[in-house]
Structure 1
């Protein structure tokens, strides 16, 4: 009888473990809404090599991520007062990044920084106007959130962004539809320091280095105190590990970013 009881307990424990794993998996899906159609940068490149997209693409400024160990450095929710210091670092390290900019209180407040980001060869991208969760908005509200930043950036740089990152990574079919209308690809990430929760630059660096992988997309924020000081060490260490830093379009090349498509490493 005791053995049968232990067997029942084991089965119940396994059941609880399976339920816990299912809950974790469900949470992961919830973070991006309905994202079963997500495409990885590597898959996008491989598909492009078998289609006419190869001939149509301008390539990745001499970087072939089929051969190189590429990784994309991205910054959300700026620009801010620390962004010029970050741009100085990137210029010194000869690294180009992708900046997902907020319109309200950021693009509006730091127009010269936006112009500098574009002038120095970084990819200027869209992170909405006011950081509202897009999956909770109507199509018209989503259109306003994304479209306002599109227009603000174009006014300063002469070019509308082709990439966007949904706040918190939350997306759904309506977000995808509006993004497609506006010519925006949706870009998620594979490495995050959760730098909104700490100003410890050493910890931010460690978290990114622990998660960095080939064809990955690093998510940082240039508006927090601990982040910009962590960037030189992140760049130097990853270069020592053989990584080549590219922008998100370069990571996808020869595939051009597809409007509405969700990309996730």
Structure 2
């Protein structure tokens, strides 16, 4: 009996040890996966890491200009406010709020039915000091289309902005934040970096401005990238609460000591590196 009991105890001990090792392996695997977004095999880069990558020719991104001079996000508590999918008829309202609070934002625009339909709004964004980049031509999900279609969506969206502003975008926001190793490789070939987000108001799901603001304020941390939308939803299911959420978001974060910058300024003195995904 003793030998049988001892064997059982040894077996239980071995099984417990196996479970501990397995649990540790799962933890390590999860930790390694924290730098990955989704299961498509791309790795994201933080703004703080991006600041170390200065262009090979010595170029650096421009610092934001605050009331007391240049804002260095290596020292200041910075956050980037971004808007997807415009410009829409709401763009003038958004620009007015940004002017009121003396902040700049980054607009990831759609070429078809947006940039080409509202070119003056795009020029107004640039004139106000905001950054205009691309969300592709027609918002196709890049992970679901062919390589040639991916390239077409990116280049046509980028070229639409360049045609209107005279400035060629360097930043791409993949629609719905969905990207993959294939998409990043094509973006790299086109000389573009991708930008996703770290704070999402989910304004596409609600018209409740207070809820949108609450979500952003709970998620925002230094070096954060905020996602909102410049869009109109005729069904009144989403987006229609976005504009009213902007002022409370900006005023509250400013009271918390945050400085609003564009995405490129958030990366300064580094510059966006083609093929990288910033988050």
Counterpart position of 1:174: 182
The TM-score, its normalising length taken from structure 1, stands at 0.85
Q: CA deviation at 1:109?
A: 1.6
Matched, 1:164 2:172: yes
C-alpha contact 1:169 1:188 (8 A) present in aligned 2: yes
1:41 to 40, 47, 58: 47
Matched, 1:105 2:113: yes
Give CA deviations for 1:116-165 in whole Å, capped at 9, x if unaligned.
11111111111011111101121110111011111111111001111011
Counterpart position of 2:229: 221
1:147 to 151, 155, 158: 155
C-alpha contact 2:53 2:273 (8 A) present in aligned 1: no
RMSD: 3.0
Unpaired segments ≥5 residues, structure 1: 1-11
Secondary structure, in 3 states, of the residue corresponding to 2:266? helix
Q: CA deviation at 1:91?
A: 1.1
C-alpha contact 1:34 1:171 (8 A) present in aligned 2: no
Pairs within 5 Å for 1:46-195 = 46-48=52-54, 55-61=58-64, 62-195=70-203
Q: CA deviation at 1:56?
A: 2.6
CA distance in 1, matches of 2:251, 2:71: 19
Unpaired segments ≥5 residues, structure 2: 1-18, 65-69, 232-238
Secondary structure, in 3 states, of the residue corresponding to 2:179? coil
Count of residue correspondences: 253
Counterpart position of 1:241: 256
C-alpha contact 2:42 2:184 (8 A) present in aligned 1: no
C-alpha contact 1:204 1:230 (8 A) present in aligned 2: yes
Of Structure 1 and Structure 2, the greater helix share is in 1
CA distance in 1, matches of 2:109, 2:240: 18
CA distance in 1, matches of 2:138, 2:93: 24
CA distance in 2, matches of 1:233, 1:114: 25
CA distance in 2, matches of 1:31, 1:169: 10
CA distance in 1, matches of 2:276, 2:149: 20
Secondary structure, in 3 states, of the residue corresponding to 1:149? helix
CA gap of 1:177–1:238, structure 2 versus 1, over 3 A, is: same
C-alpha contact 1:32 1:171 (8 A) present in aligned 2: no
Counterpart position of 1:7: none
Matched, 1:212 2:220: yes
CA gap of 1:58–1:166, structure 2 versus 1, over 3 A, is: closer
CA distance in 1, matches of 2:105, 2:38: 24
Larger radius of gyration: 2
